[in-house]
Amino acid sequence: MIPKPFTTPNLWLFRFAALTALFTFLLLGAGGLVTSHEAGMSVPDWPNSYGYNMFLFPPSKWIGGIFYEHTHRLWATLVGFMTTVLMVWLWRSDERAWVKKLGVAAFLGVVIQGVLGGLRVTLRMDDLGIFHGIVAQSFFVLTCALALFTSPFWFRLSQHPEKQGKLVAGGLRRHVAYVAGLIFLQLILGATMRHQHAGLSISDFPLAHGQLWPDTSPAAIARYNADRVDPDQLNPITAFQVILQMIHRIMALLIVLGVAAAAMLSLKRLGKGDYLTRLAFVWLGLILVQAGLGIMTVLSNKAADVATAHVLVGALVLAVGAVWFMVASVRREEAVECESGTLINPSPSVIGAE
């Protein structure tokens, strides 16, 4: 088979890559539900389920936490299969070596993610759950990137970046990169908080244990724990966890301000009609929703559906920031040389063509 050159993007490949990203997003939701329902260890064995082959485990036994954990495993298997197909498809039909490599990276990522999930169960290590959550977010961004790179839009963008609107200055791109980095750090904090299996370390908002900065003395922590009477009897909270949530709150405020600034800067520098400006405002909308979900997570005493929505929108926020940055990197000012006032195509290394 002769590989199709990127000059004619493969629409079906793009659609499949986009579907893989969508299914990965749903898988994030399924994984979020597992942790939100504290069901990560409800199926004690892996890769079998209660001694059954995973695919033959009778649905009549998918009760309680098993439902969340087992459907997560099945859905993960589907995403693993789709990622494998995507890798092979990219390898055979995309002429860009770096895209092929990204496809292989996605395949390795999904394998590592599956093994991490399995080891978290068999080794009974909560900390592995944190890495499992972080790799999940990273993998989702990677699948979104593959959908972007195989899209007709990316083809047009890489062919004629100067026709896509104003070029994007380094300052704005760096700002978005920093904010996206901050969001990633925030997701790591969030994953760490969720995998303490301690529920809410601070259960009020906007105050924290009734104060602007909560008392974290041993006596105060003992009092907080004595007052907790939830049926799920989660692990006792610690001063570390209380401080972790305070950092999470402060970071959230910084991120909201950072994304708002990104939107305003895009409007000012790129204009109202530019799709990057519109995307930046979508980003702002999502981050506001995310902040609202964070508050609701606290006020609802970490209701499983609200907490899971918080995870999902967090993943979307990260992906939108990453996509914005990737597109802006092609439209960057430095990528286009100006000769006698005429813009020429960016260098191949910039547009990612071989």
Partner 1 sequence: MVYMKKALVLSLMGGLALGIAAKAGNITGEITFQGTPPPNVEIIPLENDPVCGALHKDKPFTHFYEVGPNGGLGDVVVALQVTGKSTGASAPPAVLDQRGCIYLPGIMAIQTGQKLVVKNSDPCIHNVHTTSKNGNPEHNDAQMAGGPDLTYTFDKPEDFMKFQCDVHPWMFAWVTIEDSPYYCVTDTNGDFTIKDVPPGTYTITASHRKLGTQTLQVTVTDSDVKVNFPAFAIK
Under 8 Å CB-to-CB from 138, ≥6 apart: which residues? Answer: 109
DSSP labels, 47-113: SSBTTB-GGG--GGG--HHHHHHHHHHHHHHHHHHHHHHHHHHHHHH---HHHHHHHHHHHHHHHHH
Of the candidates 92, 101, 156, 223, which one interacts with partner 1 according to CB under 8 A? Answer: 223
Interface with partner 1, residue 65, by CB under 8 A: yes
DSSP labels, 170-204: HHHHHHHHHHHHHHHHHHHHHHHHHTT----S---
To which residue do tokens 């979508």 refer? 282
Instruction: State which H helix or E strand residue 120 sits in.
Output: helix 97-122
Shortest separation between residue 233's beta carbon and partner 1, angstroms:
4
Shortest separation between residue 35's beta carbon and partner 1, angstroms:
11
What residues between 38 and 57 interact with partner 1 by CB under 8 A?
38-45, 50-51
Interface with partner 1, residue 37, by CB under 8 A: yes
Shortest separation between residue 236's beta carbon and partner 1, angstroms:
9
Interface with partner 1, residue 127, by CB under 8 A: no
Residue 9 or 199: the one with the smaller Cβ distance to partner 1 is 199
Of the candidates 11, 26, 104, 222, which one interacts with partner 1 according to CB under 8 A? Answer: 222
To which residue do tokens 């997701």 refer? 187
- DSSP conformational letter for 163: G
Of the candidates 227, 339, 340, 342, which one interacts with partner 1 according to CB under 8 A? Answer: 227
Interface with partner 1, residue 215, by CB under 8 A: no
Residue 51 or 206: the one with the smaller Cβ distance to partner 1 is 51
Residue 37 or 194: the one with the smaller Cβ distance to partner 1 is 37
The count of residues interacting with partner 1 (CB under 8 A) is 31
Residue 62 or 275: the one with the smaller Cβ distance to partner 1 is 62
Q: Specify which residues 291 forms β-bridges with.
A: none
The answer to whether the peptide bond before residue 161 is cis (omega within 30 degrees of 0) is no
Q: Specify which residues 332 forms β-bridges with.
A: 168
To which residue do tokens 């485990």 refer? 57
Interface with partner 1, residue 354, by CB under 8 A: no
Shortest separation between residue 61's beta carbon and partner 1, angstroms:
6
**Residue 12 neighbours by CB distance under 10 Å:** 10
- Window of 31-39, 133-141, 313-321, 328-336 that interacts with partner 1 by CB under 8 A: 31-39
Q: Which residues bind partner 1 (CB under 8 A)?
A: 37-45, 50-51, 61, 63-66, 69, 121, 124, 219, 222-223, 225-233
